[in-house]
Each structure stands twice: as structure tokens, then as C-alpha cells.
Amino acid sequence: MADQERIGPLSGVRIVECSMLGPGAISTHLADLGADVIKVEPPSGDYIRRMTWPIVEGTSLMHLHISRGKRSITLDLRTPEGAEVFRDLVRDADAVVEAMRPGGLARRGLGYEDLKEINPRIVFCTISGYGATGPYASMPSHGIAYDTWAGLVQPEVDEDGFCDMPEHPSVGIHAGPLFGALGILAGITQARATGHGCQLEIAQSDAAAAMDWLRSETYKAYERPESEVTGNPSDDHERREPGTAGMRGGVRYQFYETADGHVLFMASERAFWKNFCEGIGRPELFEAHPGSEYADHARGNTELRAVLRDVFKERTSDEWLAFGDEHNTPIAPVNTPKTIADDPQFQHRLPWIPASAVGAEQVPTPLKFADAPLPDPTMAPTVGEHTDAVLGGTLGYDAERIAALRAAGALGPTDA
């Protein structure tokens, strides 16, 4: 997309990205909102195109998703000419993303201290696995490491005694880029107001821990004496396990089997519980088990749990969702990654980006602006697909200069 054609709330923002693999998602969020993201790749390209599964017509889904909406230019930053082109890209950019081990660009003379000399307003963001400091800073790692480090995923043991990795949603590799995108926007806001850029960094491991703050902070709070920190009043102040682990054995906040699947019942507030009992024509259930006003899961009440088990089997999941809407009772569908696409709420809120546009059906950005249309995502680029367009259109280089760069190997090996 040419510069003058860009739309979206970030259409006036330019990001220069140097990334390998998943951390490049930090600028995907910005590209989805209209930012011009120029992905600077080595001549061999980012091997994200060949990583993980599935491979869609020869290209990984990870690349198709993470690199959508971006432009690719190849530069050999080991050459003086390639480094100079990079500096030219930064002169009028808002931010530089270093999505790799910290210090990679500085070793090429293109770190924050170098770049702010030519653009004092530049925001320089590094996103990495364990961050730029600390005893793990230089350790190689992959995405799941950040979740195991943060305590989010525990090993399972199979029947043969081997440790296994359970299925789980990855947190750090998604939360890190999201926090990073927020930090970049904060830095750009400051830079445009003051004329001064900044340097920031985000570790995907830190992001995983930050997203799971409730559990770790609960354990820390429980280190204090019970005279200072107790459980919830509805549990007679008993200290529950942190997070959802403390909801095991719940009754008024629990999964229930329906006639054709499962739903999640969430009547932990007394008002919702009363609505439910009256709605099913069983007001005596409320009279016998009114519970506390708030956060009462009726844990351990097996008598009530048996009654609700039978009640929920009487209707289908869709019927229970309609019931909850009609009687103001929180009842949620229980989907899987495979079935969520069939959910009418998903279809309404997150209609797939078609494969014809981006190579494979993808989930769009969840952000919606009432009066600011977002750009239609475009296909993830091939290696160096936009090199000539960026050099000629964005930087204004003439054909002779581009040819000279190519001859010098700044854009990659020549055919000669």
C-alpha cells in the first residue's frame, strides 16, 4: 500500500522493524491499525516463513499472520551501504523495533545511541525472550519457555512415565508483543509532544508473569499472617488456592453438561442465583441455599451440585444461553479452538480475514473504531518484495542509486 493510500488511526506512523520469528508480532498490532511497517530483512530472509505448522502453500501460517500488512526490504547491514540505507529509513520514522536478542543492532552501529543522533524523536523498542538484563538475558529460548518460567504451564506425566507438554494457550509470545506495542505508542506520543524519543524493552517472559499477576500476588499475600490476609467472606475467610484452582469444587460457578454439550454457569452473585432459580421454576432452591451476596461458589455443596447436574441436562447449550439472556443469569458457551469459529458471537465480532487476502484465514484485530475505518490487511511479504518501492518511493532514491546499492551487495548477493 502506498503511503498516501494508508488509512486507520495510525496511518501517519512509520515503524522500521528488524525481527526474527514470533516477536515480530509487536508491529503486527500497529500495522493492523494503519501504521506503515517496513520489515528490514537480511538477504536470506526471516526464516519464520519455514517455521512451525501448518505450512500453507509453502509458507508458514505464522509468517502469514505475523507479517501481514507489512512491507519487506532486504538489506545487508554488514555493508556500509546497507547500514546507511537503514539510517535513511530511520530519519523520518517514528519507531524502530528490534525483535531479536538485545544489542543486535548496536553491534552494527545502529543502536539507540547511534540512531537518536540522526532522529532525536525515534522510539527504539527491543523485544526479546528474557529481556536485556538479568542472569538469563543471553540465554537462547523459544516461546513456551516464557510460560514455563512464569509458572503458567506444568508438565504432565504419561502412562509410560515420560514427561509430556500439555495443550495450553501460549501467553508470553502474545502478551509480550501486545505490551510492546502499547509501549511504542506511549513513546511516540511523548516524542511528538516533546521532540525527544526514548529507548524501551520488553521481555516475553516478563509479560507472561505480568498477565498471571493474580496467582503470584495471591501466593505472596498468603505469606502474611492470617490476621492480615484471609480468604473471601463467602468462604468463612478460608484461604483458597489462587486463581481458578480455588474454584475447584464450586457449584454456582462451574461447568455443567447439557443435552448436547457443556456450558459454564456463573451465578456467584446472589441476585443472579435468585434469577436462575426463579427462571427454572425452582424458587425453593434459592430459599434452601441463598448463599452470600457476592463471590459465593457454594463450594463443596454436593447436594446442590447433584440437583444442578440434572437440571442442566434437560436443555441444550443454545437453550441455556437463551435462558441466561432472558433471565439475566451468566451462562457462557464452552468452545474449543476448532468450534469457536462456528459461534455466532465470533462470526459477528471476528469475521475471518479471507485466505484470498492474506494467504490463510486469519483472526482480525479485536479493536474496533466507530468512526475510523481500519485498513484491509494485506498479504505477508515475500523476502524483499518491496525493496525497490521503499527505496524509490519512500526514500526517493533514483534508479542509478538503487543500482549502485545492488551492485555493492547492500541489498543482498548479486547474480554475478
pLDDT tens digits, residue range 210-265?
999 999 999 999 999 999 999 988 888 889 888 888 888 899 999 999 999 999 99
Say if strands 253-257 and 198-203 run parallel, antiparallel, or are unpaired: unpaired
pLDDT value for 416: 39
Distance CA 75, CA 406 (A): 10
pLDDT value for 4: 52
The Cβ of residue 122 has, within 10 Å, a number of other Cβ atoms equal to 25
pLDDT value for 347: 96
Would you write out the chain's pLDDT as a tens digit for each of its 416 residues? 444 578 999 999 999 999 988 899 999 999 999 999 999 999 999 999 998 899 999 999 999 999 999 999 999 999 999 999 999 999 999 999 999 878 889 999 999 999 999 999 999 999 999 999 999 999 989 889 999 999 999 999 999 999 999 999 999 999 999 999 999 999 999 999 999 999 999 999 999 999 999 999 999 999 999 999 999 888 888 898 888 888 888 999 999 999 999 999 999 999 999 999 999 999 999 999 999 888 889 988 999 999 999 999 999 999 999 999 999 999 999 999 999 999 999 999 999 999 999 999 999 999 999 988 899 999 999 999 999 999 999 999 999 999 999 999 999 886 53
Question: Do 316 and 258 contact (CB within 8 A), yes or no?
Answer: yes
Look-up of cell digits 502474611: 224
Return contacts of 305-314, CB within 8 angstroms, 24+ apart. 305/251, 305/254, 308/251, 308/254, 308/256, 308/265, 309/256, 309/257, 311/280, 311/282, 312/256, 312/257, 312/258, 312/263, 312/265, 313/257, 313/258, 313/259, 314/259
Distance CA 134, CA 248 (A): 37
pLDDT value for 42: 95
Q: Exposed, middle or buried: residue 398 (CB in 10 Å: 0-12, 13-18, 19+)?
A: exposed
Residue range 159-201, pLDDT digits in tens: 999 999 999 999 999 999 999 999 999 999 999 999 999 999 9
